[in-house]
């Protein structure tokens, strides 16, 4: 009989509490917008006292900025991690990347709403602009890696993977925002197919292969 697997390390209570507060703030930001979020409401949603929120975050602005960064870090760890299946082709990987980069209903849509909030704050706050740049750099590196894998395997045409990643990001951001805003002429299906069509031309693959 195989020995029992070791138990996962316990998360310190203070870390779990801090993350619960950040998640509560993210939920409220996504639902109501950043300007309407108050510490008392975050505390109530997280089931903690306002004093405890202030223990972890000195000001409301600090809490809101840390909440946005918390959300993006979690999303980046999940999306940009090396979770490609051993038998997954680069084409299938790019199709998955296109789908997961658009605001599908649920967690992905919440991430998009929070990303828009960060855009708005970073435009006005130079201190947040380097943070946004780091997040974009990680996003670009991930997409370029997926594309380069296809170039290396011969699935894609010989292209500059960084340039194509820039084109993909522009398409995903622009069309994804229209889908998020419920533009009747650009729903998620059309956004996904439009991105797939443009990238298929650059990469020399069948458009349908990039529609997951």
pLDDT of residue 107: 80
The pLDDT value recorded for residue 160 is: 97
Contact 175, 168 (CB under 8 A): no
Query: What local confidence, expressed as pLDDT, does residue 125 receive?
Result: 83
Report the greatest alpha carbon distance in the chain. 61
CA–CA distances in Å: residue 148 to residues 78, 82, 90: 20, 14, 9
Per this entry, what is the length of the chain?
212
pLDDT tens digits for 161-180? 999 999 999 999 999 999 99
pTM of the entire predicted model: 0.76
Check residue 30 and give its pLDDT: 85
* pLDDT value for 84: 56
Does residue 39 share a domain with residue 128?
no
Measured between alpha carbons, how far is 170 from 187 in angstroms, rounded to an integer?
Answer: 17
Note whether 134 and 44 are same-domain residues: no
My answer on whether 58 and 146 are in the same domain is no
How many separate domains does the chain show?
2
Q: Does one domain contain both 86 and 141?
A: yes
157 occurs within a structural domain: yes
pLDDT along the chain (212 residues), means of 10: 44 77 91 86 94 92 85 73 69 92 87 86 84 86 94 96 97 96 96 97 96 84
Spatial contact of 114 and 68, defined as CB atoms under 8 Å apart? yes
pLDDT reported for residue 164: 97
Residues 94 and 143 placed together within one structural domain of the fold: yes
Q: Which residues contact 99 (CB under 8 A, 6 or more apart)?
A: 192, 212
pLDDT of residue 110: 84
pLDDT of residue 1: 39
Contacts of 147 (CB under 8 A, 6+ apart): 90, 94, 156, 159, 161, 164, 165, 168, 203
Question: Same domain for 167 and 137?
Answer: yes
């Amino acid at each position: 009989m195989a020995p029992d697997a070791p138990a996962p390390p316990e998360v310190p209570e203070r870390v779990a509490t801090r993350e619960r507060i950040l998640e509560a703030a993210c939920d409220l930001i996504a639902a109501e917008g950043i300007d309407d979020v108050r510490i008392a409401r975050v505390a109530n949603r997280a089931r903690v006292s306002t004093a405890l929120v202030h223990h972890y975050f000195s000001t409301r602005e600090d809490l809101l900025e840390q909440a946005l960064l918390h959300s993006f870090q979690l999303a980046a760890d999940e999306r940009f991690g090396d979770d490609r299946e051993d038998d997954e082709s680069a084409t299938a990987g790019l199709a998955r990347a296109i789908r997961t980069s658009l605001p599908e209903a649920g967690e992905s849509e919440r991430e998009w709403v929070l990303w828009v909030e960060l855009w708005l704050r970073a435009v006005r706050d130079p201190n947040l602009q380097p943070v946004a740049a780091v997040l974009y750099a990680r996003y670009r590196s991930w997409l370029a890696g997926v594309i380069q894998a296809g170039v290396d395997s011969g699935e894609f045409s010989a292209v500059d993977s960084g340039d194509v990643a820039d084109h993909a990001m522009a398409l995903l951001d622009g069309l994804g925002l229209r889908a998020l805003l419920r533009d009747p002429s650009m729903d998620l299906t059309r956004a996904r197919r439009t991105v797939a069509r443009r990238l298929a031309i650059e990469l020399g693959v069948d458009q349908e292969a990039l529609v997951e």
